[in-house]
Amino acid sequence: MIEYLLFATFIGLLFHGIHRKVIARVQGRPGPPIWQEILHTLKFSFKETWIPKTASQTLFVAVVFVAIGIWSGALFILLSGGSLLLLFAVYLLHKIVEHGMGLSSGSPYGKFGAIRSVISAASELPLLATVAVIYLFTGSLSIADIAAYQQVHGPLLILAFPAAAAMYLVILSKMHYGPFSIIEAKEIVSGNMTEHFGVWRAGLEVGFALKTYVLLYAFVLLFIGPLPLGLALLLMLLVLISLSFVCAVTPMLSPYDTVTIQSLVTGALVIYIIVLGVVMG
């Protein structure tokens, strides 16, 4: 159990490093070594740590625990083939973590990050549409059933390409340095993570690494099917590198543009669902 969590954390952090490396190479910079994020997390964990005097102390600390907890839970949901709706729930609950992080510190920059996180609630809608499309195809929201369905009918990536595209957008909107990462834009310092330093930041990095791992793994599992771990990791890496390319060549959008794009994608997907509903009867 816990060893798999550690493994996922390690891979997730490595993926973050690769992400930075690819972005740097695309932009013609040398970039940091790919284990940079692992070192980063370790560095943060060795830094002196306290709680800001202005913060709501309990919440400030609790949010870090919740961040790691929900994504470890999500990993087990994926592995045990639980409910896809539950995975969607974890994704939404991550929003609460983002709010809590920003609000609890009392810092105005954190608060701005939290506000942007509220505004970007539109990033959840494509995921709901994806869930709906998958349900239309497989008639079940259990991840095990979905995997079984794909073994019979072929990968959903081909059957339901728009849903895969929407899920891709969802993962993109949670990537660092991406066009949608408005909550950690540099004009508001580090957004909602501004006041979380030292051990707290290391904890958050662990949570986010798990998040990246879970989201990429979910993409592979839901749209390509159950694979041996090595192959799955390879595909996850490919998806990640494609995401890094997108992040490298697109500028960060303004908060309202992100909402517009995400809503438009959701709208397109809803039309697709209606058409599907009519076609499939």
Partner 1 sequence: MFNLPTTNIGGQELFVLEFGDIVAYFSPYTTALFVFALIFTALAIVSRPEKQMDIAFGGDAYYAKVVDPELMRFQRFMAIACGLATLGAMVTGDVFNFTLFASLVGITNIGIVAAYRNRHVLNAAFQYGIVAMLATVPLFGGAAIVVASTGTLSMWELFTGAVAVPLIAKAFLVLGVMGEGMAPFYVAKAEITRAQGAPFILMVHVSSLLLFLRVAEIVISM
Partner 2 sequence: MKKQTALIAGLAAGGIGVAAGILAAAGYLPVWAAEILAVVTFPAFVIFIALWWNAKSGEEDIPFIGY
The residues binding partner 2 (CB under 8 A) are: 1-3, 5, 45-49, 64-69, 72-73, 76, 80, 198-199, 202-203, 206
Classify residue 228 as exposed, middle or buried by CB count within 10 Å of its CB (0-12, 13-18, 19+).
exposed
Please report how close the Cβ of residue 168 comes to partner 1 at its closest, in angstroms. Answer: 21
Query: Considering the rule CB under 8 A, would residue 263 count as an interface residue with partner 1?
Result: no
Is residue 37 within 8 Å of 205, Cβ to Cβ? yes
Selected binder of partner 1 within 114, 134, 172, 218 (CB under 8 A): 114
Is residue 55 within 8 Å of 34, Cβ to Cβ? no
Query: What DSSP state is assigned to residue 56?
Result: -
- Print the binding letters for residues 142-181 with partner 1: x by CB under 8 A, - otherwise: x--x------------------------------------
Query: Considering the rule CB under 8 A, would residue 121 count as an interface residue with partner 1?
Result: yes
CA distances, 239 to each of 14, 103, 105, 210, 236 (Å): 14, 33, 35, 16, 5
Which of partner 1, partner 2, none does residue 118 bind to, with CB < 5 to 8 Å depending on kind?
partner 1
Instruction: With contacts defined by CB under 8 A, name the span among 9-17, 31-39, 55-63, 235-243 that binds partner 1.
Output: 55-63
Distance CA 224, CA 101 (A): 34
Distance CA 256, CA 242 (A): 25
Selected binder of partner 1 within 13, 18, 128, 183 (CB under 8 A): 128
Please report how close the Cβ of residue 137 comes to partner 1 at its closest, in angstroms. Answer: 13
- Is the Cα torsion angle 228, 91, 210, 76 positive or negative in sign? negative
- Closer to partner 1 at the Cβ: 108 or 154? 108
Q: Which of 245, 170, 177 is nearest to 211 (CA)?
A: 170
Tokens of 265: 């994608």
Rounded (10°) angle between helices 125-138 and 161-173? 150
Please report how close the Cβ of residue 104 comes to partner 1 at its closest, in angstroms. Answer: 5
What length does the chain have?
281
Which of partner 1, partner 2, none does residue 246 bind to, with CB < 5 to 8 Å depending on kind?
none
| Residue ranges in contact with partner 1 by CB under 8 A | 53-60, 62, 66, 70, 73, 82-83, 85-86, 88-89, 92-93, 95-96, 99-100, 103-108, 111-112, 114-115, 118-119, 121, 128, 131-132, 135, 139-142, 145
